[in-house]
Amino acid sequence: MIGARAIDHIGIAVRSIANQREFYEQVLGARYDGVEEVPSQKVRVAFFLVGPPGAEVRLELLEPTSPDSPVAGFLEKRGEGIHHLAYPVDGIDAILKKLKDSGLRLIDEQARVGAHHSRIAFLHPRASGGVLTEICEPEGEAK
Ligand code: ZN
């Protein structure tokens, strides 16, 4: 129904991107791909790329910018660590409607603006075995 064809990125909750950057760049050897704020989620996100150009795995480090950010709540409860898996989709609005109609629990019934002007939505972790699942449609791919 979602038609996942890849993993778009892996989201990792951190208290401080600056403090973790050395691990990802110097220890892991990942390539830093910039940082941006995502106001809809009250987070700052930094991307790191692992693997050959064109076939990289993207790691998304999420740092809360406000105590009422959902990521701040996650850090409070669970501490730093893997936060979500994201799958790229085509036609996010139609997919969300279908999922909602099927009775699946969603956190976002409407897509929100994510990093790189993508449109994103989260499914409820209780609907997916405890793994917070994001679906995202990259900018310019709306159908
Ligand atoms: Zn994400």
CATH number of the domain within which 40 lies = 3.10.180.10
Q: Give me ligand 1 centre to Cα 11, in Å.
A: 5
* 6, 44, 48, 137 from 87: Cα distances, Å: 6, 20, 17, 9
- How many helices and strands (H and E) does the chain possess? 3, 8
Distance 84 CA to ligand 1 centre (A): 7
From the CA of 112, how far away is ligand 1's center (Å)? 12
- In this prediction, residue 4 has a pLDDT band, given cuts at 50, 70 and 90, of confident
Q: Ligand 1 centre from 27 Cα, in Å?
A: 23
114 is a domain residue: yes
3 located within any domain: no
**Span from the CA of 132 to the centroid of ligand 1 (angstroms):** 10
Query: Who surrounds ion ligand 1 at CB < 5 A?
Result: 11, 60, 86, 134
The CA-based dihedral angle spanning residues 92, 103, 87, 73, taken in that order and rounded to the nearest 10 degrees: 110
The residue among 138 and 15 whose pLDDT is bigger is 15
Which range of residues forms the domain containing residue 44?
A: 9-137
Residue 133: what pLDDT?
Answer: 96
Q: Is residue 143 part of a domain?
A: no
141 compared with 97, residue with greater pLDDT: 97
Give me the pLDDT at residue 143, please.
47
Q: What is the count of structural domains for the chain?
A: 1
Q: How far is the CA of 63 from the centre of ligand 1 (A)?
A: 12
What's the gap in Å between 111 CA and the centre of ligand 1?
13
C-beta separation of 61 from 12 below 8 A = yes
Residue 141's pLDDT band, with cuts at 50, 70 and 90, is low
Bridge partners (DSSP) listed for residue 113: 119
The model scores a pTM over 0.75: yes
DSSP state of 2: -
Ligand 1 centroid to residue 28 C-alpha, Å: 20
**2 found inside a domain:** no
Give the burial string for 71-102 (b: 16+ CB within 10 Å, else e). Answer: bbebbeeeeeeebbbbbbbeebeebbeebeee
C-alpha–C-alpha distance, residues 16 and 83, integer Å: 14
